[in-house]
Amino acid sequence: MRRRVIAVLARTLLCAALAAGALLACGQRVVYEGPGIEVPADFGCWHDVGFVLNWPKLNGQDLYHGPDPSFIVRANRVRLYGMGGLEWNHTEKSPGVFDWTRWDEAFAKLRRAGVKHATLNLYNPPEWATRRKHDYGGWRMQLPRERTMLERWLSAVTERYREIDAVEVANEVFTGKAASYFIGSSAELELLADWTLEWRKRSGWKGQVWAPSIPGFGENIPTMIDWLRRFPRSREFDAFPVHLYHLLPEQVGQRASKATGYSGLVEFREGLQSLGLSPMIDSEKGFDPGTVREGTIYNYAVAALVQGVQQTCFFMLGSYGNDETNLGQPFRNAWAKSDLEAVADLAGKTIVKVVTTDSGRWQVTLRP
């Protein structure tokens, strides 16, 4: 009997050792296991600045293919920022006179891709609406001369395209005088946010208003947290965007360092928590050149969600894959298209376990 017990015990220990060895050999680790993470209904987002109208030599760089008639990638949300032909200044030709030609073309393609949610980013007001000289090639925003100018634009575009159910107040503020995508002072940014929130309140529009987004590194994070602390209407924002460029799935959850490309997901999350604000989202996610492989897009979206990032909008699909966005062309790289659509397929489900793999997509277990 004793020998039999020893034999069974030895066999059990051997199996456990082999199992552990196999786990290590496969490079697996458990990223999450718990009661469940609810995936938002609009999960799965991208935007491509060449989606409708393309300038292949923009700023002297030949970065973009397209537009391609076969360019259809399923998504639940798309961010409308930097898309050629969809700029405010190209659309409102004179006060109250709109040309929706490019918008109609874009939304026809988006609807074919199953997109039901769109985020409007405020940028490039018409010249007659600006307070100071504007950099249109830089896709920047500034406070319009009059509140009614902003309200007219918001009402017109959201009434025409019902998919637009979120407005991002401004793109990448607080990056320094030469680089910020908002032209103006912090006080003017507060006023722009106030006008946008007030327009929603007065118009009865049922959509979301997102806080201005920031690049997710360095002093941008504490500066935005301080801005939110001082802005009296911060709790009226429905989401708080940060752009976590360079961060790879394996580094998600680590504090900002060289290993994370100095992206501060944890730092921004903690800053928001200190103010009682949520959720955190990423409205513009790119990667270092050469770092995206099959599975990277999917794994990143899942890893970020586990760490509290409720949406990741991947930028941008139309690059050649050798600039900082580096997602490649979904109609040339089948795996990129497949990964993006797999992210969208998670929407509305509940994740109960995530395990890494050596290559390809991580193992994601869903609640039945």
**How many Å apart are CA 65 and CA 56, to the nearest integer?**
7
Q: Tell me what pLDDT residue 316 has.
A: 65
- List Cα–Cα distances, 280 to 36, 73, 83, 241, 351, in angstroms: 18, 25, 24, 6, 18
Cα 13 to the center of its chain, rounded Å: 46
Nearest-CA neighbor of 46 among 240, 361, 276, 329?
A: 329
Strands (E), 101-210: 117-121, 164-168, 208-210
Q: Tell me what pLDDT residue 317 has.
A: 59
Q: Tell me what pLDDT residue 67 has.
A: 47
Residue 346 DSSP one-character state: T
80 residue type, one letter: L
Whether 115 contacts 78, CB under 8 Å: yes
Q: Tell me what pLDDT residue 160 has.
A: 98
**How many Å apart are CA 296 and CA 327, to the nearest integer?**
9
Q: Tell me what pLDDT residue 17 has.
A: 44
Whole-structure pTM value:
0.88
Q: Tell me what pLDDT residue 333 has.
A: 65
pLDDT in tens, the chain (368 residues): 445 544 444 444 444 444 444 444 456 999 999 999 999 999 999 887 767 655 444 444 444 444 455 567 889 999 999 887 899 999 999 999 999 999 998 999 899 889 999 999 999 999 999 999 999 988 999 999 999 999 999 999 999 999 999 999 999 999 876 679 999 999 999 999 999 999 999 999 999 999 999 999 999 999 999 999 999 999 999 999 999 998 999 999 999 999 998 999 999 999 999 999 999 999 999 888 778 888 999 999 999 999 999 999 998 655 554 555 556 444 456 788 889 999 999 999 999 999 999 999 999 999 99
Q: Tell me what pLDDT residue 162 has.
A: 98
Domains of the chain in sequence order: 40-348 (3.20.20.80)
